[in-house]
Amino acid sequence: MSVPKHLDRGLVRRFFVLGLALLLAVAAAAQPERRTPDVPGGDGTIRGRVLESLDGTPLPDVEVALYALTAEGVPGMRRTRSDAEGRFAFEGIARGGNLAYLLGAQYQGVPFPGGRISFTAGETERQADIRIAQLSDDASNLLAGQAELRLQRTGAGLRVTETLRVENPGPNTFHVAAEARKNATPALRARLPEGASSFQMPLGVIPDGVEQTERDLRWWGPVHPGSRDLSFSFELEAAEATDSQRIELSWELPDGASALRLWIPAGAELETPEFSAATLGPGEGSGFLAFDSGPVPPGTRVAISLRVPPARLAEGAVTPTEVRVLLAVDDAAMAVNETHLLEVTGEERVLGTIAAPLHFIPLPAGTARLRFGSDGNGVTLVPDERGGLSVIGETPPGELKVEVAYQVQVDAFPVEFERSWPVSVPLLSIFLTDPGNLSPHSERLHRRRPVRTSDLTYMHLEAYEIEADEKVGLRIDRRPPRSRLPTFAFRGGIALCGALALTLLVTPLWRNRSDGDLAGDTETAAGRERDAVVAALRDLDHDFETGKVEEEDYGTLRNDLRARAIELMREERSPRAPVAAAGRPPTCGECGAVPDTRHRFCAQCGSPLPGDNG
């Protein structure tokens, strides 16, 4: 059995992008929201220097942060400061195929990314420098790029995602401090359309440098050299004719933008002649159609009209088939990654709205670092007033996968994890990262064989047919530390136990030999030994799964026990000759009956008899 791909790959790419944003946000904050655990420990080292980007001048006393995020979603943060020559080092950190780091620095209140770092096989040290571009509040060199609109139907109207690009061709980082913004020019200014509501930005947080007042949006940086995108979304009530399924709206391009790319759901038809179909690269725009407006004077209002295919509301059309949960627990937090597999029935596209979502995911109290996503391009997740996330948007029939990740603070062990959903769930699978000292307990979940990857082991627990609103609890405790015997002592103990067991099994045979009942009792003893060997195999498997037996010892002991079990079963299947006790006639080797000397087969069990019996 292998770990499903979503456990170690599904969220990782999005999490690294998120990790960079979190790194910069944490580095820019004077006081973190709560204690962040250290990065995983090991024998790796990351060294580097903080340098001025133009001439390579070392920059001393600059705060440098290292952010770690594993495939299980457990974060870690470590900080240091550059020395007089701009050098910094992070020593004693873990290295592995599923672990990567994000490096960043904070200079004069502005975060600067240092890139992503990972160790290859055999590497114990990596070098990475952080380049700092000097700050400037002059916006005259900034250029506005193409604006993009992505439309998703929500029932009452549209969810509009707007992406604006700013080009910074100069060598400096544009940034205007809060106290200097009154008479300064922002990097970008945009106006939201009338009726816009439910304004959101990625991660659900408006970052420093972005100001939104009513319909006006300004971005004061930082804009590092190169290009930067600013994305945000909002709800818009569209003029919709229910008989023709037509949606109409007008759009004013932001300051400086001279072109517009429009994304509409696949299956919709654009009726605005000024737009032409855009040329997309391989894999680009899955689930959407793209159209370009061509050159448009800045500030122009663009009329947009599209016809959308009919869609039925989601009630009763979407049902969960499985919920998979990946848990990772340490002294500071429990990281939870949930994947909800949904089945969309019928033959038409299904529409989920705020009032009637495709699916609702309640969240435990005290969740932090919330992240979410979906493999459905026309689907999004939005906060719900019931205390969770609602899945809304359009999706075709088939399977839909929704992923949610969050953290819950851990104060002490044991840790209690409890989940319930407003609809029934046929299968709940929980994969608990096992560092070797955790002990899970649950009345509803039952244990399965552990799942192993190249560098991690997961305890696997399952529950079937979870009823609506049924609470499924998992109590995670720590096992007390145990002293391990040396390998030779462990094997010696096993050998001693085997010798004692063999003595107990053989002694009755010798006692019964004097009574003349050797044949029947030998069969009984052999059966007892076979049962004992099978039970020992089961116990050995369990000890290995729970980490009580080393893999090397496990393989050797299991092969020995398995060979003995096969030998015993072969002996039981082979026909035996009649056995004669002193002063008694020979008996059947299978059932112990005394056969007639004229017979060739035992009259009691039908087993063949030696030729001397006839």
Q: Is the peptide bond before 222 cis (omega within 30 degrees of 0)?
A: yes
pLDDT at 184 over 80: yes
- Among 191-200, 235-244, 530-539, the range scoring the smallest mean pLDDT is 235-244
Mean pLDDT score across all residues of the chain: 79
- Give whole-number Cα distances, 175 to 5, 208, 209, in Å: 41, 11, 8
pLDDT at residue 580 tops 90: no
Indicate whether 28 pLDDT > 70: no
CB proximity list for 505: less than 8 A, separation 6 or greater: 525, 528, 529, 532
Output the CA–CA distances (angstroms, integers) from residue 514 to 361, 446, 576, 601, in the order listed.
Answer: 73, 50, 20, 27
Question: Which two tokens mark 455?
Answer: 């560098």
Identical fold, 5-132 and 143-307: yes
Over range 590-599, report the average pLDDT: 68
CA 297: distance to chain centroid? 45
- For residues 307-334, one letter each, b for 16 or more C-beta atoms within 10 angstroms of the residue's C-beta and e for the rest, the string is ebeebeebeebbebeebbbbbbbbebbb
Question: Of 407 and 497, which is predicted with more confidence?
Answer: 407
- The structure tokens listed for 166 are 């700013």
pLDDT tens for 81-117 read: 999 999 999 999 998 767 889 999 999 989 999 888 9
Is 55 in a helix, a strand, or coil? coil
- Beta strand pairing call for 147-153 and 158-168: antiparallel
Instruction: Give the integer Cα–Cα distance in Å for 506 and 408.
Output: 57
Residue 16 pLDDT greater than 50, yes or no: no
Q: Is the pLDDT of residue 138 over 90?
A: yes
Helix H or strand E encompassing 432: strand 425-433
Categorize the per-residue pLDDT at 32 as very low, low, confident or very high, splitting at 50, 70 and 90: very low
Locus of tokens 């609470």: 471
Residue range 521-528: mean pLDDT, rounded: 56
Percentage of residues in the chain with pLDDT exceeding 70? 74
Q: What is the mean pLDDT of residues 146-155?
A: 82
14 phi/psi in degrees, rounded to 5: -70, -35
Residue 435 above 70 pLDDT?
A: yes
Contact (Cβ atoms closer than 8 angstroms) between residue 230 and residue 164: yes
* pTM for this prediction: 0.58
* Residue type at position 308: V
pLDDT class for 18, splitting at 50, 70, 90?
Answer: very low
Fold of 5-132: Immunoglobulin-like (2.60.40)
d(CA 150, CA 289): 10
The mean pLDDT of 513-531, rounded to a whole number, is 54
Give the span between the Cα atoms of 493 and 500, in whole angstroms: 11
| DSSP state letter for 436 | S
What's the average model confidence in pLDDT over 542-567?
A: 71
Structure confidence at residue 226 as a pLDDT band (50, 70, 90): very high
Least confident of 155-164, 260-269, 449-458, 565-574: 565-574
- Checking phi first, is residue 465 left (phi over 0); if not, alpha (psi -120 to 50) or beta? left
- Name the one residue in this structure whose structure tokens are 């391989």: 282
Q: 424 versus 395: which is more confidently predicted?
A: 424
- Residue 149 clears pLDDT 80, i.e. is over it: yes
| 412-427 pLDDT tens trace | 999 999 999 999 999 9
User: Is 329:298 a contact under the CB 8 Å cutoff?
Assistant: no
SS3 571: helix
**Strands annotated E in 32-136:** 41-52, 63-70, 75-81, 87-93, 99-107, 110-117, 125-127, 130-132, 135-136
The Cα 234–Cα 151 span in angstroms is 10
Token pair 């790959």 in the structure block, residue = 9
Give phi and psi for 5, each to the nearest 5.
-55, -35
What's the CATH architecture for 143-307? Sandwich (2.60)
For residues 582 and 318, the model is more confident at 318
- The domain locations on the chain are 5-132, 143-307, 315-478, 487-573, 585-614
Give the integer Cα–Cα distance in Å for 59 and 49.
8
- pLDDT value at 393 more than 50: yes
**pLDDT band per the 50, 70, 90 thresholds, residue 460:** very high
Distance, CA of 498 to CA of 480 (rounded, Å): 28
| C-alpha to C-alpha distances, 4 to 10, 17, 75, 429, 452, nearest whole angstrom | 9, 22, 21, 11, 11
- Between 526 and 466, residue with greater pLDDT: 466
pLDDT > 90: percent of the chain: 34
186 against 516, higher pLDDT: 186
Give 336's pLDDT tier (boundaries 50, 70, 90): very high
Cβ-contact 56, 132 below 8 angstroms: no
Query: Is pLDDT at 15 greater than 80 in this prediction?
Result: no
What is the token pair recorded at 316? 């009763």
Architecture, CATH, for domain 315-478: Sandwich (2.60)
How much is the pLDDT for 240?
46
Q: Cα angle vertex 507, ends 504, 510, to 5°?
A: 160
Tokens 């959101």 correspond to 200
Q: What is the pLDDT of residue 420?
A: 94
